[in-house]
């Protein structure tokens, strides 16, 4: 199969996944509605935290929280994508794709490409929301572009994990059951609060959690400026998540095909 | 009507039992005892779902507990701010988690009702002899009963992690108010389910619960809230309900802090019950 044909397959499946994401509230609500509500509650409820000793200098707590909302949304987009893939498996659509003369990688890449696009949208949505409600983006236009890019890559990386879960379990209920786990990972990172001010043992775990590096990389351009080292750490965090997801997906796909 | 004395038979035998004792064309009123048995049967059915598919209930039980532990780990240092009313954040956030767990159980009741409507099971209930308010009561009260599961988990974990014990009366008050809140949310969610007749409407049930519980002094005392949330929380009736649940965890239980919460909860209950009953009466008409 030529590269152009593969690209067409990926594009077609990606468009299908995006349409699916916006047609059903069960898919788009976790990505846009709940993280927006959570952002609103965190900002208004814990906004006085900027007065705590040790809190980094920020224009406002909303500026600090934007990165948390973006990573939350990116992770939940992976759960939604996994749910959608599991639905395809349950309804037999996946079996028909497997029987079609297209590469298996294209099937997974199609869904992941939709997740990356969704990640870009998430970046645009939360930066827009932040600007409307008074956030300052210290890094300027370049920071906006970088945050949107990193947001897309984060959603794509976590998309591999969602795909792996769906391929391994093959059931919607199991993938949806992972929803609380997303928050465990987020709470054990610096996504919502400075690492230095977290309570133990969250503080110790956050230090080794790749999510902390991803969140810091998304936050730095907003509250300060683009920093090479922080951005590279963020990309390394995204790469680790993507690598784990890819290996797990490949193993789950092999297992599924053997069982078929 | 004797068969309604046995609650276990009511779920499967409502139509047959009543129809066989009723003359053609005459709508005999259902005795109160049979109505209570029907409500109990519907409540038992909801609990049976948990027993038969425990995996489906786990996220609903785990999520509020994870939020409580996670928010304590993240925002625990907020107690260092001047004006914070307790020295342990988990004591402050535990009542929020109780209401959150109860609220989401109520919302899940609405989603389950929407599923029953989609599958046609609810239509069979509608043509059975019990009045519609009895069907609604059974559905709604099952939420109160099921809400005890997340609450038990939250309380065990919270106390193990050092939350203040509010005293027996304070704890009982918190549980009763939270369980009643589950029924209030179930009324709202059932009304939405009856109006839209689709599980897709679950988003309306869950987001309204989220807003009701968290657009309050959930993370910090009223005086420390910032921006628009200060004003929303000030006029949100759920703030009074939350303060009534929270009082024992952060201080003493007093009538002064209890009656506004009970009044607001009663007001919400009347409004939501009217909404649900209206949707119930419109169904199929």
Confidence of residue B4 (pLDDT cuts 50, 70, 90): very low
- The closest CB to that of A173, out of B56, B199, B207, belongs to B56
Q: Could you report how far apart the first and last alpha carbons of chain A are, in Å?
A: 23
> Residue A44: its pLDDT value, please?
86
Residue B6 has pLDDT above 70, yes or no: no
Q: Which of residues 108-147 of A touch B (CB under 8 A)?
A: none
The distance from CA B268 to its chain's CA centroid, rounded to whole angstroms, is 12
Q: Which residues in chain A are closer than 8 Å to B230, comparing Cβ atoms?
A: 44
- The closest CB to that of B74, out of A25, A179, A198, belongs to A198
Residue B254 CB-density burial (10 A; 0-12 exposed, 13-18 middle, 19+ buried)? exposed
Q: State the average pLDDT over residues B118-124.
A: 87
> Residue A101: its pLDDT value, please?
79
- The closest CB to that of B211, out of A37, A52, A61, belongs to A37
Q: What is the rounded average pLDDT for all residues in chain B?
A: 84
Cα–Cα distance for residue pair B285/B279, rounded to 1 Å: 10
- The closest CB to that of A48, out of B214, B220, B233, belongs to B220
> Residue A203: its pLDDT value, please?
84
Cα–Cα distance for residue pair A4/B170, rounded to 1 Å: 68
How far apart are the CA of B18 and the nearest CA of chain A, in angstroms? Answer: 38
Query: To probe the interface with A, which of B73, B90, B100, B114 has the most A CB atoms within 10 Å?
Result: B73
> Residue B197: its pLDDT value, please?
84
Cα–Cα distance for residue pair B94/B155, rounded to 1 Å: 8
Cα–Cα distance for residue pair A165/A161, rounded to 1 Å: 6
How far apart are the CA of B38 and the nearest CA of chain A, in angstroms? Answer: 30
Q: State the average pLDDT over residues B18-37.
A: 68
Residues of chain A with pLDDT below 50 are none
> Residue B61: its pLDDT value, please?
83
Chain B interface, Cβ < 8 Å to A: 55-56, 58-59, 62-63, 66-67, 69-78, 80-81, 199-203, 206-207, 210-211, 214-215, 217-220, 224-230, 232-233
Share of chain B above pLDDT 70, in %: 88
Share of chain B above pLDDT 90, in %: 37
Cα–Cα distance for residue pair B45/B34, rounded to 1 Å: 16
Minimum CA–CA partner of A55 in chain B: B77
Q: Which of residues 161-200 of A touch B (CB under 8 A)?
A: 173-174, 176-177, 179-180, 183-184, 186-188, 192-193, 197-199
Contact assessment for residue A54 and residue A196, using Cβ atoms and an 8 Å cutoff: yes
Residue B13 has pLDDT above 70, yes or no: no
Confidence of residue B16 (pLDDT cuts 50, 70, 90): very low
Q: State the average pLDDT over residues B18-23.
A: 51
- The closest CB to that of A48, out of B81, B199, B210, belongs to B81
Q: State the average pLDDT over residues B262-268.
A: 94
* Angle separating helix axes A61-91 and A179-187, nearest 10 degrees: 150
pLDDT tens, position by position, B93-114: 999 999 999 998 898 888 888 8
Asked if A44 and B58 come within 8 Å (Cβ–Cβ), the reply is no
pLDDT tens, position by position, B142-192: 999 999 999 999 999 999 999 999 999 999 999 999 999 999 999 999 999
User: Any residues with CB less than 8 A from the CB of B163 and at least 6 apart, and which?
Assistant: B88, B90, B91, B94, B249
Residue B25 has pLDDT above 80, yes or no: no
Cα–Cα distance for residue pair B226/A134, rounded to 1 Å: 13
Helix (H, G, I), strand (E, B) or coil at A239: helix
Q: Which residues in chain A are closer than 8 Å to B226, comparing Cβ atoms?
A: 43-44, 47-48, 61
Q: What is the dihedral of CA B230, B103, A65, A197, to 10 degrees?
A: 90
The reply to whether the predicted model has a pTM over 0.90 is no
Asked if B63 and A46 come within 8 Å (Cβ–Cβ), the reply is no
> Residue B22: its pLDDT value, please?
53
Minimum CA–CA partner of B201 in chain A: A25
Asked if A26 and B203 come within 8 Å (Cβ–Cβ), the reply is yes
Asked if A46 and B59 come within 8 Å (Cβ–Cβ), the reply is no
Asked if A47 and B225 come within 8 Å (Cβ–Cβ), the reply is yes
> Residue B54: its pLDDT value, please?
65
- DSSP H helices in chain B: 7-20, 32-52, 54-75, 89-119, 121-126, 132-146, 148-160, 167-196, 202-214, 228-235, 237-250, 255-282
Query: To probe the interface with B, which of A26, A35, A37, A45 has the most B CB atoms within 10 Å?
Result: A45
């Amino acid at each position: 199969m030529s590269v152009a044909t593969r690209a067409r397959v990926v594009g077609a499946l990606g468009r299908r996944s995006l349409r699916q994401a916006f047609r059903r509230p069960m898919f788009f609500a976790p990505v846009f509605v709940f993280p927006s509500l959570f952002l609103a509650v965190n900002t208004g409820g814990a906004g006085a935290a900027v007065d705590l000793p040790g809190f980094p200098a920020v224009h406002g707590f909303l500026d600090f929280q934007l990165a948390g909302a973006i990573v939350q949304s990116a992770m939940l987009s992976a759960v939604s994508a996994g749910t959608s893939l599991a639905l395809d498996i349950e309804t037999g659509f996946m079996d028909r794709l497997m029987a079609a003369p297209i590469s298996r990688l294209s099937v997974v890449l199609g869904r992941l490409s939709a997740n990356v696009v969704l990640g870009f949208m998430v970046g645009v949505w939360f930066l827009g929301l932040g600007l409307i409600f008074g956030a300052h983006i210290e890094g300027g236009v370049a920071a906006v572009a970088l945050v949107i890019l990193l947001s897309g890559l984060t959603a794509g990386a976590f998309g591999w994990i969602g795909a792996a879960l769906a391929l391994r379990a093959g059931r919607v209920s199991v993938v949806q059951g992972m929803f609380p786990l997303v928050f465990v990972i987020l709470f054990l990172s610096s996504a919502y609060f400075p690492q230095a001010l977290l309570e133990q043992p969250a503080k110790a775990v956050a230090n080794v959690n790749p999510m902390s590096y991803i969140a810091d990389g998304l936050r730095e351009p907003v509250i300060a400026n683009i920093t090479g080292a922080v951005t590279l750490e963020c990309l390394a965090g995204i790469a680790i998540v993507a690598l784990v997801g890819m290996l797990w997906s490949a193993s789950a796909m092999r297992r599924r095909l053997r069982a078929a | 009507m004797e068969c309604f004395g046995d609650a276990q038979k009511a779920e499967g035998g409502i139509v047959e039992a009543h129809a066989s004792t009723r003359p053609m064309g005459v709508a005999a009123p259902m005795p109160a005892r049979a109505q209570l048995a029907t409500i109990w049967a519907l409540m038992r059915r909801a609990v049976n779902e948990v027993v038969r598919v425990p995996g489906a209930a786990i996220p609903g039980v785990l999520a509020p507990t994870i939020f409580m532990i996670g928010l304590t780990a993240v925002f625990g240092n907020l107690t260092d701010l001047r004006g914070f009313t307790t020295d342990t954040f988990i004591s402050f956030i535990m009542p929020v988690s109780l209401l959150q767990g109860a609220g989401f159980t109520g919302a899940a009741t609405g989603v389950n009702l929407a599923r029953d409507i989609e599958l046609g099971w609810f239509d069979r209930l509608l043509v059975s002899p019990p009045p519609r308010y009895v069907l609604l009561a059974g559905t709604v009260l099952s939420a109160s009963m099921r809400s005890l599961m997340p609450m038990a988990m939250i309380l065990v974990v919270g106390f193990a992690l050092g939350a203040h014990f509010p005293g027996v009366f304070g704890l009982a008050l918190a549980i009763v108010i939270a369980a009643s809140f589950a029924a209030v949310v179930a009324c709202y969610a059932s009304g939405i389910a009856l109006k839209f007749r689709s599980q897709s409407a679950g988003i309306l049930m869950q987001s309204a619960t989220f807003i009701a519980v968290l657009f309050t002094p959930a993370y910090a005392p009223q005086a420390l809230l910032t921006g628009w949330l200060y004003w929303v929380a000030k006029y949100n009736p759920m703030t009074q309900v939350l303060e009534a649940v929270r009082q024992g965890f952060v201080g003493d239980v007093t009538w002064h802090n209890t009656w506004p919460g009970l009044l607001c909860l009663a007001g919400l209950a009347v409004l939501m019950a009217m909404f649900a009953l209206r949707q119930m009466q419109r169904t199929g008409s």
